[in-house]
């Protein structure tokens, strides 16, 4: 007997999975930017424990901390990311708006899911 519906069930299942996975729109797109530019200092989990952080005079922010997010705003974070914090090793990373939004979504997703994603 032919079972043509099987393939469709798989496609629908996979679509549902990808549709529900990202809790923050843009986080998936923001991840590679974070890995390439931020992870060395801020750490894979966002706790500020990247390999380069040990050499820093002051540890980077802990992005998994709810306290950090309640003490700042989306705009403030995006400004720091693009312009840097004067007088610290946190330099600016100029990038277009959409990339900054995606990166912000990824940073926020770190707080929502403290365990590193596979």
Interface residue with ligand HEC, options 22, 37, 65, 111 (CB under 6 A): 37
35 binds ligand HEC (CB under 6 A): no
Which residues ranging from 58 to 77 are in contact with ligand HEC (CB under 6 A)?
58, 60-61, 72, 76-77
Q: Which long-range contacts (CB under 8 A, 24 or more apart) does 109-114 make?
A: 109/22, 109/23, 109/24, 109/27, 110/45, 110/46, 110/63, 110/64, 111/46, 111/63, 111/64, 111/65, 111/66, 111/68, 111/69, 112/23, 112/24, 113/23, 114/45, 114/64
Interface residue with ligand HEC, options 42, 43, 45, 69 (CB under 6 A): 42
15 binds ligand HEC (CB under 6 A): no
Choose between 16 and 94: whose C-beta lies nearer to ligand HEC. Answer: 94
41 binds ligand HEC (CB under 6 A): yes
Choose between 40 and 111: whose C-beta lies nearer to ligand HEC. Answer: 40
């Amino acid at each position: 007997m032919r079972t043509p519906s099987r393939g469709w069930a798989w496609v629908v299942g996979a679509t549902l999975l990808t549709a529900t996975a990202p809790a923050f729109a843009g986080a998936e797109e923001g991840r590679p930017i974070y890995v390439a530019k931020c992870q060395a200092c801020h750490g894979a989990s966002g706790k500020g424990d990247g390999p380069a952080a040990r050499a820093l005079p002051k540890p980077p922010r802990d992005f998994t901390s709810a306290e950090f997010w309640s003490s700042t705003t989306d705009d403030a974070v995006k400004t720091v990311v693009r312009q840097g914090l004067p007088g610290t090793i946190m330099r600016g990373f100029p990038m277009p708006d959409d990339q900054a939004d995606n990166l912000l979504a990824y940073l926020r997703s770190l707080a929502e899911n403290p365990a590193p994603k596979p």
